[in-house]
Structure 1
Amino acid sequence: MAGKRPHVLAVPIPAQGHVKPLMSLCRQIAKHGFKVTFVNAHSIHNKMLSASQKRQDEEDDSCHNIVMETIPDGFTPEDDPNNLSMLLENLRRTMPQTLTDLIQRINTSNPYEKVTCFIADIAFSWIFDIADKMGAEPVAFSTPSVANLAFMLHTPKLLEQGILNINGSLQNGVVVSLSNDIPAWRNGEFLWSFSRDPEIEKVFFEFTTKGFKDASKAKWLLCNSCHELEPAATELVPNVLPVGPLNLLDSNSVKSTNFFSEDSSCLRWLDTQPDRSVVYVSFGSSGVFSQQQMDELAFGLELSGRAFLWVVRPDLANGSPIVYPPGFGTGLGKIVEWAPQKKVLSHPSIGCFVSHCGWNSTTEGVTNGVPFLCWPYFADQFHNEKYICEKWGIGLKIDFDEEGIRSRYEIKNKIDMLFFDNKFKENALKLKEMCGKSVADGGTSFNNLKKFIDHLYRR
């Protein structure tokens, strides 16, 4: 009908690493004239608002087509709003009704802008029934690598065959291999892995397996990767459309979706450093360390003798106040609570990235041609490390000692090895070029996104 405008409703998992790439995708959709309603839980929305009040980023034109909405997160005043497992359980219980109410309100308020497409994180696929009832097309969005997506979709068969037990651990065999061209998974390397807390690990396992159960209801399965990065994995998921790396599609001027306030003073500091000289250290939004490990990292950076930019969140030391070891000085480096990572990684002074290997950070490092030192914490980060070190050859693993600590000497030695061997930088630059071509006009990701956009217009 003439005058009707396509309208996409987007629902991410309420975590930094899920909100960010889905918003990047929504910006691309909005640029084509679609209206987008982006739905967050109250507590997540408040974090973004709090951080954005301290920023002065300018929005690009696509953001004018994006409306932010919130739904209740089910917390009581006594609950911890940072308890992700509780938040996920609350949303699973309450979201079907709250989303239905929201869509009804939207559709009633403007009959020419009814919700026509429902893009949800694939771990929320149990809410695709709502899309069917409301006459909207269900579309799944996956934030990890295609390889980890393929593994999750394969999980029911692994349970059926007795390879995995009901707690999500291997009970038959040492590894799980989906292809000779994809690194295998061991215990502790799955999407739900969280060795520090077996109870949370069990909650994550149950949530992800139940969440993926209805993924087949979505005709489209969009993924933040590109075919060239993971050719073997894309062949295992017939209906996947890799449309990334999505960070390449966002300009540096768009409004950030971080939950923490960015300190842009580090960019001015980077301007004073020589090209490819700085060690950038960041462990994402959820990694935490013991005080002993904090001390070893601090002294390891100093021992390297290289300039460093270290992101130290206020809760990085297991939620305790940040205490630096006696004698540690920052004469060589700069410490910030949160950095504008995309701008940092594209800065010419960055020589390597000490990373937790979350998929967003992985793609951001890859697309900027930056070699990695890998320090995974939980979930898919361990498998991403294998891609970085074993498959792509763009980084090194920082190993534990017999006490489970990454020592100052191990950190210093791996920094030296990465800077002295040009092969890591050479391989990283090849991947950068390859990813750039994928999102450019005529590239695989470009064509996949165009295919999806064209379909939404015809619907």
Structure 2
Amino acid sequence: MDREPHVLVIPFPAQGHAGPLMKLSTKIAEHGIKVTFVSTEHMHAKITASMPQKAEQSSLITMVSIPDGLESHEADRRDLHKVRQSMLTVMPGCLRNLIEKVNKSNDCEKISCVIADLTVGWALEVAEQMGIARAAVIPYAPASLALVLHAPKLVEAGLLDSNGNAMTDEPILLSEGTLPWKKKEYGWCFPSQPHMQKLFFGGCSAVAQNLKISNWILCNSFYELDPPACDLIPNILTIGPLLGRDHLEHSAVNFWPEDSTCLGWLDKQAVGSVIYVAFGSLAVLSQEQLEELALGLESLQQPFLWVVRSDFMNKSHAKLPDGFVERVSDRGKLVEWAPQEKVLGHPSVACFLSHCGWNSTIEGLSMGVPFLCWPYFADQYQNRNYIFDAWKIGLRFFPDENGIITRQEIQRQAKALLNDDGIKANALKMKQMARKSLVEGGSSFRNFESFVSQLKAIGC
């Protein structure tokens, strides 16, 4: 009896990592390949709790969970070092047991490939040890991966020290045509947290090794977006943008329940009038910065939709300025989590005030929405530089001498963006480029079709 192709998909247990891997899983499953999506028990509980009542994950995909070795309280899960160590200790063995159990239960549906987020490289190692094909998924832009892969050479050349700090003030240029990397804007930079920087920079060699043992390197981007960076990564398969499947209402992964009332609210707003504000799943603001943002939005006298997570402030719930909600009730909508792609694709949205995480960046440009850039950490600074300097589809904020982005700065840049027809035109060109890559004959379409056909071949 012929074996059916069966892939196991494993994300890092965070919203920004799990989301695109579920979109990829759904695309693969639609091509007739069996997909099992592996969550941690904690992540599985969050996803299940966020789903609408009676709604289940797409029946195309089997959801399973394994333990990560951490206790249930959230404090431990904010300690990245503790999370990483626990996962490394507990999850490889659990994954091996899961694969063995699946393989024993049905000989025709043995796991033929493990598709893993590059940040859970141990899953790729387990697959290699078990003789199973491996696909690594890059959770950030090709340019960020190129920098990580060049890190050893940059240390050798004396441009970086052993902890990833710049040895000169000169920007780092990896090749002709790539965007320079400015000092303190490398993906591993945490200037105020040297232990975190050591952890991130120390992982560069592991990334390179995990790519070496992978049969495929998949990236949520499209070649035309940054050819020079893509050309620096041997065998990269750009298969993005990975977007939601409109016909599968509940095929998304969310750690918070989506508040779809915002879509009805958007329907009532004028075309091209709404500022959409969302900082992803991890960014937190100080009380002072939160107030400046709120008062800046209020001062614009413009409709806005603002995603304010319950944990948006460090160590406490977000506390908005007194009377703010009442004063903006006629033009402001606040939600804890939004169906972001649907929001960005709505005709009433004028711009996206974003932390510039890679998922938000690729979603925004795929919908042709201009950006107001407010990076928080890691690769988000270079994503901001691409949006502002390279693609010219947005503007950036400039903090004051205390590192605060003031209400006046928010007002100034938002007004400038809303009146900039050149940026709007560039954003629409970017949307066309992104969509062209996905249709038959496009670069991402060809890469994905090739990947699927190879998956089917190894399943035989």
Please indicate, yes or no, whether the TM-score normalized by the shorter chain is above 0.5: yes
Instruction: Measure, in 1, the Cα distance between the counterparts of 2:234 and 2:199.
Output: 29
Runs of 4 or more consecutive aligned structure 1 residues displaced over 6 Å after TM superposition:
none
Instruction: Measure, in 2, the Cα distance between the counterparts of 1:249 and 1:169.
Output: 41
Question: What letter matches 1:102 in structure 2?
Answer: L
Residues 1:73 and 2:60 aligned together:
no
SS state at 1:153 partner? helix
TM-score, with structure 2 as normaliser: 0.94
Instruction: Measure, in 2, the Cα distance between the counterparts of 1:281 and 1:411.
Output: 12
Aligned to 1:125: 121
SS state at 2:37 partner? strand
In the TM superposition, what is the alpha-carbon distance from 1:126 to its structure 2 partner? 4.1
Alignment of 1:209-358 (within 5 A): 209-247=205-243, 251=247, 253-328=249-324, 329-331=327-329, 332-358=331-357
Gap regions ≥5 residues in structure 1: none
Q: Which moved more, 1:125-134 or 1:412-421?
A: 125-134
CA contact under 8 A between 2:139 and 2:219: conserved in structure 1?
A: yes
SS state at 1:437 partner? helix
Instruction: Measure, in 1, the Cα distance between the counterparts of 2:53 and 2:386.
Output: 34
TM-score, with structure 1 as normaliser: 0.94
Instruction: Measure, in 1, the Cα distance between the counterparts of 2:334 and 2:55.
Output: 21
CA contact under 8 A between 1:116 and 1:135: conserved in structure 2?
A: no
CA contact under 8 A between 1:124 and 1:211: conserved in structure 2?
A: no
Give the 3 Å change call, closer, same or farther, for CA 130–163 of structure 1 in structure 2: same
Aligned to 1:384: 383
In the TM superposition, what is the alpha-carbon distance from 1:403 to its structure 2 partner? 0.9
Instruction: Measure, in 1, the Cα distance between the counterparts of 2:241 and 2:199.
Output: 29
Deviations 1:262-297 (A, max 9, x none): 111111111110000000000000111111101111
Give the 3 Å change call, closer, same or farther, for CA 150–164 of structure 1 in structure 2: same
SS state at 1:118 partner? strand
Aligned to 2:91: 95
SS state at 1:228 partner? helix
Instruction: Measure, in 1, the Cα distance between the counterparts of 2:244 and 2:61.
Output: 19
SS state at 1:293 partner? helix
Q: Which moved more, 1:182-191 or 1:268-277?
A: 182-191
In the TM superposition, what is the alpha-carbon distance from 1:58 to its structure 2 partner? 7.2
In the TM superposition, what is the alpha-carbon distance from 1:353 to its structure 2 partner? 0.3
In the TM superposition, what is the alpha-carbon distance from 1:199 to its structure 2 partner? 2.4
Q: Which moved more, 1:27-36 or 1:191-200?
A: 191-200
In the TM superposition, what is the alpha-carbon distance from 1:401 to its structure 2 partner? 0.6
SS state at 1:80 partner? helix
Give the 3 Å change call, closer, same or farther, for CA 389–75 of structure 1 in structure 2: same
SS state at 2:351 partner? strand
Q: Which moved more, 1:420-429 or 1:320-329?
A: 320-329
Give the 3 Å change call, closer, same or farther, for CA 85–33 of structure 1 in structure 2: same
Deviations 1:124-147 (A, max 9, x none): 334433212322111111011111
CA-atom RMSD, angstroms? 1.9
Q: Which moved more, 1:127-136 or 1:106-115?
A: 127-136
Question: What letter matches 1:10 in structure 2?
Answer: V
SS state at 1:214 partner? helix
Question: What letter matches 2:26 in structure 1?
Answer: R
In the TM superposition, what is the alpha-carbon distance from 1:57 to its structure 2 partner? 6.0
CA contact under 8 A between 1:163 and 1:173: conserved in structure 2?
A: no
Instruction: Measure, in 1, the Cα distance between the counterparts of 2:167 and 2:247.
Output: 46
Instruction: Measure, in 1, the Cα distance between the counterparts of 2:409 and 2:142.
Output: 31
Gap regions ≥5 residues in structure 2: none
